[in-house]
Structure 1
């Protein structure tokens, strides 16, 4: 299992590295779209929806529109119409018992699509190469530090009812690891960067990423599954690997493009 995890992680890391270095914004948009779409299908399948069911189609549409809307004149009616169609389908097909499942999957589609669109938005920012690398390194350092600190120190569980293996020490270690990773990368890649701003970005990414991981764990428990899928040997599903990224990305995009407002 460990060998599988390492091989899968290395291959996935090389793909991301290649796309970021050589494929530009278009390549990154395609990679994020495919990964997010896989996550949406896994989310739908966890709650009994098959890949060809309307709720899954809605997920694919939501991903595309979430990236398209910010670059167009958005009208709230379009969003309402899309949601109305999805929720009306089980009524007019005489399957009203599906309403609860449709509500969950439609919400999940929007939540995941917003994360995917924000990952694309980070790369599309001015100096986007710097921001997307800062974001990813913060997230990776948070996961790595949380894993090793949690195993070494152990101690009280964070939320055992949702994720039995996560500890308070691991969560704190993840926050510290993200801050260190963000500051070190920022100082190397962009020496005029404000260390406090870098630390704030790293802390935000780690905090929201950990919340995102817990959110997906809660959904998996509600669905009665251990992993979101089997696409990644040794890791489970795609959603198991990108859940924290998709949850943290909208917060990071908001903070960098709005709150910082030219501090760096």
Structure 2
């Protein structure tokens, strides 16, 4: 694949703007993090429903309660997995997600029967896949951010060790999303650069521009950079940074291929156009969508 400076410059400028928006949302506070992934969640859903509608024309005819109700149901899952850390006054997002989610479970099937007079299992499966593919991923990202995976059992007050453990849990929840996202950014960038310079062997027919050389180079460099950053900031946990980077880079590449397959079935080049050179929400977050659940499972296994 020949090097294209025009494409690279467009992607680079867009990436700077995108990075500024992302970093603001990720670093400002927990509410900016929540708002960022709320926007991403609904943006991904809008594009997913558009793609599925192109793949299966019948999906374009789903009733409004189905179309927007499934998005709301997915959002409820996100709220539910924040646990009790995101609290607005006396109401936690966890409780709100639980109550609203139960309502969706009752209302959505009833609305489907009332409007369509039948339950079309194929259309329901399309939406169910969206809930797993999109909503569950972002719900697990919020779960990681909340520190719930590392939250110690017991009362924070009156116990210095427990209080320290809680503090470490908060820090871990703050850092891990940055490691996942940083690993994917490095992998994507280095895979593009290495593939452009020396890539010759196509990785998959689904995405002809991807090469084995670029893919391997992206993974290796992502792991190396994250291990180095981990060594500088937390030497004792540098191995954890490297493993998360490895998981994120590999599964992130698979996530990219999965979204490319969806676009090919739909007959489109991009899922949307939020940033020049980067496409839509799904184009930009396809890697993170698949990487997040796998990293969450790994963290759950070692907690």
Shared fold per TM-score greater than 0.5: yes
TM range (shorter): 0.7 to 0.9
Deviation at 1:212, TM superposition (A): 0.9
Deviates more, 1:118-127 or 1:138-147: 118-127
Structure 1's unaligned 5+ residue stretches are none
Which residue in the other structure is 1:135 paired with?
Answer: 180
Residues in 2 aligned to 1:202 and 1:234: alpha-carbon distance in whole angstroms:
25
Q: 1:145 to 1:138 in 2, by over 3 A?
A: same
Q: CA RMSD in A?
A: 3.0
**Alignment counterpart, residue 223 of structure 1, candidates 266, 274, 279:** 266
CA contact (8 A) 1:41 1:59 kept: no
In structure 1, the residue corresponding to 2:235 is in which secondary structure?
coil
Residues in 2 aligned to 1:190 and 1:214: alpha-carbon distance in whole angstroms:
33
Which residue in the other structure is 1:66 paired with?
Answer: 77
Deviation at 1:82, TM superposition (A): 4.5
- TM-score (normalizing by structure 1): 0.84
Taking the TM superposition and a 5 Å limit, the aligned residue runs for 1:150-189 are: 150-160=195-205, 162-189=206-233
- TM-score (normalizing by structure 2): 0.74
**Alignment counterpart, residue 256 of structure 2, candidates 201, 208, 213:** 213
Residues in 1 aligned to 2:31 and 2:61: alpha-carbon distance in whole angstroms:
29
**Alignment counterpart, residue 108 of structure 1, candidates 130, 138, 143:** 130
Q: List per-residue Cα deviations over 1:53-88 (Å, max 9, x = no partner).
A: 334313421332122223258xx9x97984685466
CA contact (8 A) 2:223 2:242 kept: yes
Task: Provide the aligned length of Structure 1 versus Structure 2.
Answer: 257
CA contact (8 A) 2:187 2:218 kept: yes
Q: List per-residue Cα deviations over 1:98-137 (Å, max 9, x = no partner).
A: 6534422331133201111122222222222221221121
Which residue in the other structure is 1:94 paired with?
Answer: 116
Which residue in the other structure is 2:158 paired with?
Answer: none
Structure 2's unaligned 5+ residue stretches are 1-5, 54-59, 84-93, 148-168
Q: 1:232 to 1:88 in 2, by over 3 A?
A: farther
